[in-house]
Structure formats: structure tokens, C-alpha cells
Structure 1
């Protein structure tokens, strides 16, 4: 038989420091067990202090840069017994993604660890790319020994509630269910008799489905009210409005960007030295969004030779297709009022007070409706709030600002095409309700929205664009002021740099 060995308590602490320097989780970083030519299950046994084959133990140590494996091993060795079970209880990571790196979040992990002793439901929310799934993985990875069962389920493919229940119960006892009420009772029985951690990743995928109001919302609230010893950890890009996060049973954590030190560690892991000029400004520009920083780093290295300051001098943002898709998915779920609030904030490009924002809406809004819209956007982590002594102001994060600006220009371009084809200004929606030039400024030449819109329209109409805009203005005289709105102002703003 081959020899077996296990790590000592001090040795595990050394291994823990080594993997943190690399930004690896304990068992969710695929590269670790792949580099060691072993499995996630064996890596879990390593952290549990169980004996594993010596050559695999050495490979696990080497993968994180520990050459002296004997320094972390228990002093005695014994024969390896393959009959030793790999891990007690249920461990269903089937739908959990693998992580390439994980940095920082010590405070968030400590907060989650404090909550799991009493909370039935914990919801981690935040805008796309902030690392909600990564945090849930790192937390589950670190705390799994405290639970008899751990099951990870992804909601990104919008499963029906009955399908989710069927999947969960199959992990417990290989049974299936066809009735939601019966399935919920069965699940609660398991959660009462066994301390389990259930992770439901990507709740936003079901928030807009018909099942949310009729089934999912009630299901989650039932889990929060019933007496059981388990915890359900949920990730979502927005906080569910119908689930009030109050009391000990329901907790909510809004995930913001990485702090500067952790963000620097991330950037260094992607090839930067950490000594480049402008690193703090780069982190602030992206608000510490880890996914966004991972996207922009190789671009800076390839195009600017690692010169961060040269990239910042371009006064632009690199978003990437995947993050752009995540942000646009969030925007698609907004109401007309919420979308219009974001458009105005993108036009202003700076913090705007509630009163000032209210005055620019074409139709006078009930202040309560506007406040509710702002609160909804804050639940979705799309707004930044600035609090002064006398008033508060709102703006958008740079990444959100750019996505909203892109969407606004695309909608304005599409509306122009329809009006030109039909000669009917009723197809003007954003043209009518929004002034594309920031109110109170004469710097039209420096306005990003009007410039991008002009460029889009020039690509479609070319040299005929000035006449096209004049034709639009000719449609307005016989219309009511409410029907015209900002259409005329926007057409004139587009004409001005054309010297007409």
C-alpha cells in the first residue's frame, strides 16, 4: 500500500496563507486540483485534515508554491486506506461554477459567517460583475464543514419552482415530486432534521417570471418563516421587492466593489506589477468591479504596454461583451419611469438632486412615484447616492453610465429611422421626453450623447442628414407642445455643428 499523510493544524494555516496569495479558494478553484492532478473531493479531504496519498498531498502543496510539504504534514504516517469515506453528508456542487481567483471580501465573509447562526435566508445583491457568485462560492467553500448538507443550484436558466424542488429533493433521497406544496413540506423536513446550506445562484432570472409572484416569492418567505436549522444563501442582481429584509431570519448584503488593496492584488495577479502610475484611479473608475478589472487589464497590457496612465488619458471605458450583456439585461427589466430616470442621469453626467431631476420630466410626476422609482433603482445597485447637509443627489456608476448612454443612443437612432419612414412623430419617444444635451450647458461639441447620436445618424443618412433633420423640424409646427416635447431642441442641437 502507498503511504498516506494528513496536514497538521499549523500546516493548514500555512496552506491557507499560500492559497490566499494566489487568490484561490479552498476547493472551488479548478486550477488547484487540476495542477495537482487530483479531484475537488480529494482537495476537500486535505482541508478536512483527512489522510490522503502522499504523492497527491505533495502535489497539492506544490500547486500553491509550498515546496517543503513535510513542514505542513502531521509527523506520523500510516497506510492509506481507500475505504475511508471522502466526505460525510451531502455535497452537491454539480451546478457550481469554478473560480479562477478570489481576492479580499474579508469583511463580507465575516458578516455572512455571523449571520448563518440565526438567519434562514441571506440574499447577496449587487450589479453585474461585482462577484456575488464568487463570494457565495468562497463562503460555501469555507463553511461547508459546519453543514451536514450543501447543495448548489443555478437559477440562471429560469427553472420552474417544481423543477427546482424536484432537483433539490433528488439530491437528498433520489425522490421526485410533482406538487409544489408537497415538495416544499418534504424539503422543510430535511432542513429541520439536517443542518444544510442551500445556494440559489442568480435569482434575478426568475424575478420577472409569472411564477415569481405566484410561487417563488411565497416559497422563499415560507423558508424564512419556518423553524429549521438550515440556511438558504441567494445571489441576485437586485433585492426582491416582495421580500423585506428585516429581522434575524432574513438578511441582505449589498455587494460593492473591491477595496483598494484587494483590487491591487487582483490586478497584480493579471500581470501588472502594482507600481504603475494611475492604478488607484483605474480602480476608482471601475468602482472596484472585479469582473470589469479582469476585462480591462489584458487590454491595457496589449494596447498600452501596461501603461495604466496612458489608458486613463483616453477618457474611455472598456466594458467587454459579457459585462455589457449583464448590464443590458438589468436595464431590460426596468419600468418606463425607472429607465427615464437613468436616461436623465446619463444626460447630466454628474450628481443631480431630486428636485432638479423632477423639474426636467416633460409631464409633472407625483413625487412619491419618482421616489419609488429611485428606491427601485437603488435596490438594483444601479445608482450612486451623494448625501449633503441639505439635500441628496444621485448619479450612475461609470459602467452603468456608459451602458445607459449606449442604450439611449440606440433607441434614439431607431426612433429616427421609424419617423423618417412614416413621417409620423408619434414614434418619437426618447426624442420627445428627453433633452439629449445636458441642461444648462453650451458645450454641445463635448457632449457624448449628442456626438454619438450624430455619428450613428450620419452612418445611416450621410450627407443628407442635415436635410433629414430639417424635415423632422417641418413636422412640428402643427403639433401641440406636449406632443413635440424636446424633439425640436434635439434636432437643432444635432444641426448646430453642421453649420446650418
Structure 2
């Protein structure tokens, strides 16, 4: 074999994707050529497609996590004969996304690698709120451990494929024929997982949770975790799969939190900040180290506030980019009525609330078991923050979730008032009947965040006629039972008393 190699065009594309996952530049990241024990000039020659020393070529590939350098090289006939006996890995990465950068997560990567390389581990899930970096972490993990598997397949579920279409796509990766039913497809897939030591990545499982096929997917995942095979399935999702025993020998679950401060600072430095700005730590804490949220808010801070983070924070607001807003709003709309009620109460209180306190504020008596199930469901979706005290756990909302739920609360209550004004039927009141909007312990009613936001929204629509309209609605409550009125009268009376001019 020749002692020099050059990269093919397709090989350079693979390397380009791998370096993007690491957050490296093509030729300006010193660590790259240092890890490869070469020079920047040689790395540039590599990108130009020039022939370079074979050992250096391999080292450049390995530095970004590519073990099968043969897939990168443009090999001659003699080269191909020399490596004919070397086993090759099968990869189906067409659906793996590109990522802009990746920071930190060393502890999570080490934990995932320990699990995925342990005997009998068949299923691993990475769960977390939208934007927290689940897909990026999965890509970094696969780059790190790819040499330990004979087969790597990445499938994105963001298009919400039916289970039968997913099975046929997977079987096509194994060059198997089309199947007509789920049972047949699952059996054939497991047979392939038994033959090969395969890593199968299912990215974005939450996309199918609103489908009628949710149950079929759940049963499919359970079967993959229970059947005997030598492969591992890695799932990313905003929700934990139901009815699977977590942290057993076959199933492990990583609940992904925000970036630690050091990694978050590195991310912000890549967005034209120095890392020494006043308010930097507070900004990271406000967004709980959510990488996507930080990336979405930084352009606004740069353009509107000239990069002055403290000036942005002084506005006492939280900006949620359109991309995150859409995702979180969709997730909220998929919740049960009780789960939405719990989130509304937590948004109103704006502080950690215990289960017993939450239970006493529900207008209609609900089985405590159902309330507990609601809290567990919200935790499983990474929408809650838990606070542990000496007495009992308390729950509140992540700031991003608090913002979305507050906006939903204001929007829906305003709609309820519009409907009652038009119909003169108080049965349209739902949230205003079951939720007391005034935050407990509030002295400055006009300064109450939710009531003030709702009042201003109504004022923009009704103008100076708002007090009269609210009084007319109050007249509709005369003669109504206490249960029918609930909190309606108290909420409208407070809104009538707020000076919004």
C-alpha cells in the first residue's frame, strides 16, 4: 500500500460533518492538528485533497472520531487489494442532522458510553426539554463509540412516520424486503439485531406521541428492550417511554439538563461574547443552560442591546425564539386537561408548590392519585423543576415553560371573556372559573404579572369600555351557584379594579 493518501470528495463531506459535531473549524482549531501530531499546513493540504502521509491522514480522521479512515480515502486499486481483508462497518447516516457546535457534556458522554458498552444493555433513552441538546449529544456519542459496533443506523422520527414505514426503512438498511404488517417487520428486525452488533438511533420519538400509533410504538420499543439480541437502541425524546422499567440491566435513561456554566460560556463566546460580560451567569441561569435558547436570544442581545447582557436582563423579560415557542406550545396542547390545570396553577404562583398545597386549590375535588399521575406525567416530559425540602417535594416550572404557559393562560382567558361577551353565557368560562389568577401574597395587584398582562390585552381590544363590559359580565353571575361561579367573580372584580390607562 502507498505510504500516502488523499481524501475523496465524499470522504471530505463525512469529515466535514464530524468536525461540525465537535464545534471545530476546518483549519483554525489548533486542537485538531495537535491531536493528529501534525501542522496546520498539513491539515490545509488534507482539505485541499492533496496526498499526505498515511499515518497523518489516519490521525486527522481519528481526531474527529472517524475510525474507518478507508471510507474517507480515495483508494487506488492496490490500496483496495491491501485492505480487502479488513472488516468494514455498515452505516446508514443519511437522516443524521448537521449540528453547528457541541460544548461540554463530558460527564454525560462518559455515562452513556459506560451504559452502552455494558453487557445486556439494549435500550438507552436521552430525555429532556426542547432545545436542551439531546440530538447533539447522541451525535457526539456515536462519533465517540462507533468503532465498537459493526453497524450504525440513524433514523429521524421528526416526520412522524408510521411504525410499518419505519420498520421497512430499517429493514431496507439491512437490504431486507418490504413487510406488510408490524409483527412480521418486528420479527425480521430483531433477527438482524441478533446477527450484528448494531447501534440503532431513533431521534425524536416524541413526534409520534400525538399519533394513534403511540401505543404500537410503545409496544415495539418494549419488545426491542426485552428480546435477546446483541444490539443497542438509542432513543432521543422529550418524554420518557411509558411502561418500561428504567435503570434495569437492559434499559437506561439519561435525563439531560442544561449546560454547566463553563460549557455555556464557551457557547456564548462562539456568539461574539468575551465571556466576561456583566450578567453572563444570570443569563445562563435564566435560560437554565438551554443551548438552543441561548443561541436564539444572543442575536437579539447583540443587535438591540449592543451585546450588553445586563441591559437585556434589566428589562425583566424572557425571550423565547419562534422555534422553541412552537415546540413548547405543541407540547402543551398535547397535555391532558388536568396536566394543563397543574401548569396553570404553577404559572400563577411562580414559586415551588407542594403536592398537598396544589391539591387544596383545585376547585373540583380530584382523586389524589390522578393529581400524582399528572405530576409524574409532567416530570416525564421535563416540564417541571423539583425542589426538595425537609418536608415534601415542591414543584415549579422551568422559566421557558413558565413563559409559554403564562402566555397560553392569558390568551385562553381573554378568549373566554370574548365568548361570554358575545353569547352572554358564562358556561364559556373554564380557566377563569377554576383558577384564582392573583398570586398568593400579592400586595400590588396592578403589578401582578398575569393579571396585568391579561388586563392590557383586554384593554387593547375593548378600550375605555372594558370596565363596563366586566361589570355586565358580573351581573350574569347573579343567582348562580358557588360551584358554577367558582373564581369568576373574584377574577373579574380584580380586573375591574386595575388601572390600565
Q: Secondary structure at the match of 2:437?
A: coil
Shift of 1:182: 1.5
Q: Is the 8 A contact 2:123 2:251 kept in 1?
A: yes
Unaligned 5+ segments in structure 1 are: 8-18, 37-45
In structure 1, the partner of 2:199 is 197
Distance 1:429 1:59, change over 3 A: farther
Distance 1:497 1:166, change over 3 A: same
What is the distance in 1 between the residues matched to 2:24 and 2:384?
37
Distance 1:55 1:189, change over 3 A: farther
In structure 2, the partner of 1:307 is 308
Segment of structure 1 superposing worse, 481-490 or 437-446? 437-446
Q: How does 1:307-346 map to 2 (within 5 A)?
A: 307-346=308-347
What is the distance in 1 between the residues matched to 2:242 and 2:58?
52
In structure 2, the partner of 1:82 is 76
Shift of 1:2: 10
Shift of 1:496: 0.8
Q: How does 1:95-174 map to 2 (within 5 A)?
A: 95-117=95-117, 118=119, 119-174=121-176
Q: How does 1:25-36 map to 2 (within 5 A)?
A: 26-27=18-19, 29=21
What is the distance in 1 between the residues matched to 2:142 and 2:244?
23
In structure 2, the partner of 1:381 is 382
Shift of 1:179: 2.1
* TM-score using structure 2 length: 0.86
In structure 2, the partner of 1:39 is none
Q: Is the 8 A contact 2:416 2:428 kept in 1?
A: yes
Shift of 1:435: 1.0
Distance 1:397 1:69, change over 3 A: farther
Shift of 1:90: 1.7
Q: Is the 8 A contact 2:260 2:289 kept in 1?
A: yes
What is the distance in 2 between the residues matched to 1:26 and 1:343?
43
What is the distance in 1 between the residues matched to 2:486 and 2:318?
32
In structure 2, the partner of 1:443 is 444
**Per-residue deviation, residues 85-115 of structure 1 (Å, max 9, x unmatched):** 7992321111111010000111111111011
1:177 aligns with 2:179: yes
Unaligned 5+ segments in structure 2 are: 8-14, 28-32, 60-72
Q: How does 1:243-392 map to 2 (within 5 A)?
A: 243-392=244-393
Q: Secondary structure at the match of 2:153?
A: strand
Q: Is the 8 A contact 1:2 1:80 kept in 2?
A: no
Count of residues in correspondence between the two structures: 461
**Per-residue deviation, residues 381-435 of structure 1 (Å, max 9, x unmatched):** 1111111112221111111100000011111111111111110000000010011
What is the distance in 1 between the residues matched to 2:401 and 2:160?
25
Shift of 1:57: 5.1
In structure 1, the partner of 2:236 is 235
In structure 1, the partner of 2:11 is none
1:209 aligns with 2:195: no
Q: Is the 8 A contact 2:124 2:252 kept in 1?
A: yes
Q: Is the 8 A contact 1:32 1:60 kept in 2?
A: no
* Runs (4+) off by over 4 Å: 30-33, 54-57, 59-63, 68-75, 83-87
**Per-residue deviation, residues 178-215 of structure 1 (Å, max 9, x unmatched):** 121121111111111111111101111112322121x2
Distance 1:499 1:264, change over 3 A: closer
**Per-residue deviation, residues 328-384 of structure 1 (Å, max 9, x unmatched):** 121111111111010000000111122222221111222222112111111111111
What is the distance in 2 between the residues matched to 1:29 and 1:249?
28
1:58 aligns with 2:27: no
* TM-score using structure 1 length: 0.86
